[in-house]
Amino acid sequence: MFGGTFNPIHVGHLRVAEEALRQFELREVVFVPTGHPPHRPVADGVPAEDRYTMVRLATADYPQFSVSRFEVDRPGPCYTVDTVAAMKEIYPHGVAFIVGADIFARIHTWRDWPRLLRSCPFIVAPRPATDIGSFSRPPFDQAEVHLLQMPPIPVSSSEVRRRYRSGLSTTGMVPPAVDRWIRDHRLYGVAPSGAGG
């Protein structure tokens, strides 16, 4: 499973999912957009339904990618430890959690994180300015951690949002279908379709 706010999903997310699928011979990658994140409000107030739709659009051409509504449809805050437990019921052959190194480094701020660390293997994608060496030390030594062998991807959702707000080009940063959805629905303060990058 690949959880995240996906606000918006971008080419870096897809590349990480592709590499995880290939390097670890996964059966599939299930994207799990966050419904109501417990730590902070979703930037720009983008509703879960819109973020879910963008992930569906981005993954439509990938036969081994699917999108779960588990957190989108769940009322109240969503906690990863609960989602992993539910996914293990749905996928009894096993679940691994795909996560960026920058997010994984802050896992101690998540609910019931010691149980989460022991609940499933983690596939960790490198991120700029994040020391992956720390994942071999406590508390990460409680977890089964696998590092993706790939260069860090510099694109981030926050940078994509900034570029939309500023009227800068996002070409090559988000899938074309996602870009059209963002422009058609005027997300992130962007100009309507046909204007800007």
Q: Is residue 188 part of a domain?
A: no
Nearest Cα to Cα of residue 66 among 2, 146, 15: 2
Q: What is the pLDDT of residue 47?
A: 92
3-state secondary structure 111-166: CCHHHHHHHCCEEEECCCCCCHHHHHCCCHHHCCEEECCCCCCCCCHHHHHHHHHH
pLDDT > 70 in the chain, percent: 94
Residue 148 has pLDDT above 50, yes or no: yes
Q: Which two tokens stand for residue 158?
A: 């926050």
Distance CA 78, CA 87 (A): 13
Q: Is residue 67 part of a domain?
A: yes
Q: Is residue 184 part of a domain?
A: no
Q: Is residue 28 part of a domain?
A: yes
Residue 174 has pLDDT above 80, yes or no: yes
How would residue 69 be classed by pLDDT, with cut points 50, 70 and 90? very high
Question: Tens digit of pLDDT for each residue in 104-119?
Answer: 999 999 999 999 999 9
Q: Is residue 112 part of a domain?
A: yes
- CATH code for the domain in which residue 27 is found: 3.40.50.620
Q: Domain of residue 17: give its range.
A: 2-155
Using left for φ > 0, alpha for ψ between -120 and 50, and beta otherwise, residue 127 falls in beta
Distance CA 66, CA 59 (A): 7
Q: What is the pLDDT of residue 68?
A: 97
Using left for φ > 0, alpha for ψ between -120 and 50, and beta otherwise, residue 7 falls in beta
Residue 78 has pLDDT above 50, yes or no: yes
Residue 49 has pLDDT above 80, yes or no: yes
pLDDT > 90 in the chain, percent: 81
Across the chain, what does the average pLDDT equal? 92
How would residue 197 be classed by pLDDT, with cut points 50, 70 and 90? very low
pTM of the model: 0.92
Residue 193 has pLDDT above 80, yes or no: no
Q: What is the pLDDT of residue 41?
A: 67
Contact 102, 127 (CB under 8 A): yes
Q: Is residue 170 part of a domain?
A: no
Question: Tens digit of pLDDT for each residue in 29-44?
Answer: 999 999 877 666 677 7
Q: Is residue 147 part of a domain?
A: yes
Distance CA 65, CA 52 (A): 13
Number of domains into which the chain is organized: 1
Contact 124, 135 (CB under 8 A): yes
Contact 9, 18 (CB under 8 A): no
Strands (E), the chain: 2-4, 29-33, 65-67, 97-100, 122-125, 145-147
Q: Is residue 160 part of a domain?
A: no
